[in-house]
Amino acid sequence: MNESVTVHMSASPEAVWDLVSDVTKIGRYSPETFEAEWLDGATGPAVGVRFRGHVKRNGVGPIYWTTSSITASEPGVEFAFGVGPPGKPLSIWGYHLAPSGDGTDVTEYFRLTPTIWLRIYWTLWGWSRGKVNREGMRTTLERIKAEVESAP
């Protein structure tokens, strides 16, 4: 009930982290989440900070808002958030950043919470949703790569 994709970027971990941790930029990269905004007066990432994302499932719909809470926020190393109620997310999405050669290996990942209902869902439709998620993560990472590598 998890998937990940890794892409090498010719940029520092800090430069990549600045992009992935600013949820207001997600619409530039994600094929499903086309906008997001900080909640509760927050203006940046920190563990426990909440934001909401506007999602167009599978790039075609339905369209809905999700609320997420940041679960990891270590500059240049990791950014992650749980989708759903704080402390009881339905899924965790995140980025691991590792220095490598001339830049950074960036791994985007997701994990479903192992509830009985999500186990059933993954058993029945996981092959399809996993493929969509992998393709979406690769698209997201390639778009981030294009932006961070073109920065001066």
Q: How far apart are the first and last CA of the chain?
A: 39
| pLDDT > 90: percent of the chain | 75
pTM of the model: 0.91
Phi, psi of 50 (to 5 degrees): -110, 150
Report the alpha-carbon distance of residue 20 to residue 52 in Å, rounded.
Answer: 15
The whole-angstrom separation of Cα 64 and Cα 129 is 17
CATH architecture of 2-150: 2-Layer Sandwich (3.30)
- Give yes or no for residue 102 having a pLDDT over 90: yes
Q: How confident is the model at residue 118 (pLDDT cuts 50, 70, 90)?
A: confident
- Tens digits of residue pLDDT in 27-56: 999 999 999 999 999 999 999 999 999 999
